[in-house]
Structure 1
Amino acid sequence: MKFLLHRQSSTPLYQQIFTYIVQQIQNGMLKDGEQLPSLRALADDLNVSVLTARKAYKWLETKGYVFIQPGKGVYVRGKKSISVQIERPYEWQRSLSTNVVRSQYLINRKKQYYDFSQAVVYPRLLPTQFLADEMQKILDKNKMILATYGSVQGDEELRLEMAKYLRDHQGLNTHPSNLLITSGVQQGIDLVAQTLLKPGDTVVVESPCYGAAIDVFVNKGINLISIELDEQGIRSDALEEVCQKKKPKLIYVNPSFHNPTGTLMSEQRRQELVELAELYGFFIIEDDSFGEIYFDHVFPPHPIKYFDRNGYVIYLKGFSKTMAPGVRVAALLAEGPVFDWLYGVKASMDIGSPLLTQKAILPFLRTERMKNHLEKLRIALQIRRDTAVDIMSSLTGMVELRVPKGSLNLWISLPDSVHPLRLLEKANEASISFLPGSSCFVHEPKHHHIRISYSLLSDRDLTIGLQKLCEVIFDFGD
Structure 2
Amino acid sequence: MTVSDRVISSRPPPALAGRVAVVGGSPVRDILAVTARPEVVNFAGGLPAPGLFDTEGIAAAFQDVLAEVPQRALQYSTTEGEPALRAALADRTTVRGLATAPDDLLVTTGSQQALSLLATALLEPGDTVLVENPCYLAALQAFGFADARVVAVPGDADGVDPDALEELVVRERPKLLYTVPTFQNPTGRTLPAERRAAIARVAARRGLWGVEDDPYGELRFEGERVPWIASYEEARDRTVLLGSFSKVMAPGLRLGWLRAPAALRRACAVAKQAADLHTPAVNQLAAARYLADRDLDAHVARVAAAYGERRDAMLAGLADALPEGSSWNRPEGGMFLWARLPEGYDTTALLPRVVEQDVAYVPGRPFHAGVPDPSTMRLCFVTHTPEEIAEGLRRLGKGLG
Q: Indicate whether the TM-score tops 0.5.
A: yes
Report the CA distance shift for 1:210/1:367 in structure 2 as closer, same or farther (over 3 A): same
Residue 187 (structure 1) aligned with residue 139 (structure 2): no
Report the CA distance shift for 1:463/1:284 in structure 2 as closer, same or farther (over 3 A): same
Equivalent-residue separation in structure 2 for 1:95 and 1:351 (angstroms): 28
8 Å contact from structure 2 (residues 346, 374) kept in 1: no
**3-state SS of 2:103 partner:** helix
1:434-449 aligned at under 5 Å gives the runs 434-449=361-376
Report the CA distance shift for 1:426/1:344 in structure 2 as closer, same or farther (over 3 A): same
**3-state SS of 2:153 partner:** strand
Match 2:145 to one of 212, 219, 227: 219
8 Å contact from structure 2 (residues 28, 362) kept in 1: no
Match 1:110 to one of 31, 34, 47: 34
* 1:307 counterpart residue number: 232
Equivalent-residue separation in structure 2 for 1:371 and 1:386 (angstroms): 22
Shift of 1:28: 9.0
Q: Deviations over 1:412-443 (max 9, x none)?
A: 10123321122111122222222110121114
Residue 263 (structure 1) aligned with residue 189 (structure 2): yes
* 1:160 counterpart residue number: 87
Identity across aligned pairs (percent)?
Answer: 28
* 2:352 counterpart residue number: 425
The one-letter code sitting in structure 1 at the alignment partner of 2:194 is Q
8 Å contact from structure 1 (residues 178, 333) kept in 2: yes
Match 1:101 to one of 23, 26, 29: 23
* 2:315 counterpart residue number: 389
* 1:49 counterpart residue number: none
Shift of 1:321: 0.7
* 1:65 counterpart residue number: none
8 Å contact from structure 2 (residues 44, 361) kept in 1: yes
Q: Deviations over 1:27-76 (max 9, x none)?
A: 999xxxxxxxxxxxxxxxxxxxxxxxxxxxxxxxxxxxxxxxxxxxxxxx
Q: Deviations over 1:136-158 (max 9, x none)?
A: 22223344345412310010000
**3-state SS of 1:221 partner:** coil
TM-score norm. by structure 2 comes to 0.91
* 1:57 counterpart residue number: none
Structure with greater contact order relative to length (CA < 8 Å, sep ≥ 6): 2
8 Å contact from structure 1 (residues 208, 228) kept in 2: no
8 Å contact from structure 1 (residues 255, 286) kept in 2: yes
Shift of 1:368: 5.8
Equivalent-residue separation in structure 1 for 2:310 and 2:166 (angstroms): 38
Equivalent-residue separation in structure 2 for 1:94 and 1:250 (angstroms): 34
The one-letter code sitting in structure 2 at the alignment partner of 1:459 is P
The one-letter code sitting in structure 2 at the alignment partner of 1:259 is N
* 1:72 counterpart residue number: none
Shift of 1:396: 6.2
8 Å contact from structure 1 (residues 311, 336) kept in 2: no
8 Å contact from structure 1 (residues 209, 440) kept in 2: yes
Question: For the pair shown, which has the larger CA radius of gyration, 1 or 2?
Answer: 1
Equivalent-residue separation in structure 1 for 2:261 and 2:153 (angstroms): 27
* 1:364 counterpart residue number: 290
**3-state SS of 2:241 partner:** strand
* 1:407 counterpart residue number: 334
Equivalent-residue separation in structure 2 for 1:367 and 1:182 (angstroms): 22
Report the CA distance shift for 1:94/1:230 in structure 2 as closer, same or farther (over 3 A): farther
Equivalent-residue separation in structure 2 for 1:104 and 1:240 (angstroms): 32
Shift of 1:95: 4.2
**3-state SS of 1:209 partner:** coil
Residue 121 (structure 1) aligned with residue 48 (structure 2): yes
**3-state SS of 1:207 partner:** coil
Residue 233 (structure 1) aligned with residue 159 (structure 2): yes
1:14-413 aligned at under 5 Å gives the runs 95-99=15-19, 100-102=22-24, 103-108=26-31, 109-112=33-36, 113-145=40-72, 147-168=74-95, 170-296=96-222, 298-308=223-233, 310-366=236-292, 369-394=295-320, 395=322, 397-413=324-340
Report the CA distance shift for 1:341/1:392 in structure 2 as closer, same or farther (over 3 A): same
**3-state SS of 2:397 partner:** helix
* 2:387 counterpart residue number: 460
Question: How many residues of Structure 1 are paired with residues of Structure 2 in the alignment?
Answer: 386
8 Å contact from structure 1 (residues 165, 365) kept in 2: no
The one-letter code sitting in structure 2 at the alignment partner of 1:412 is A
Shift of 1:199: 1.1
**3-state SS of 1:430 partner:** coil
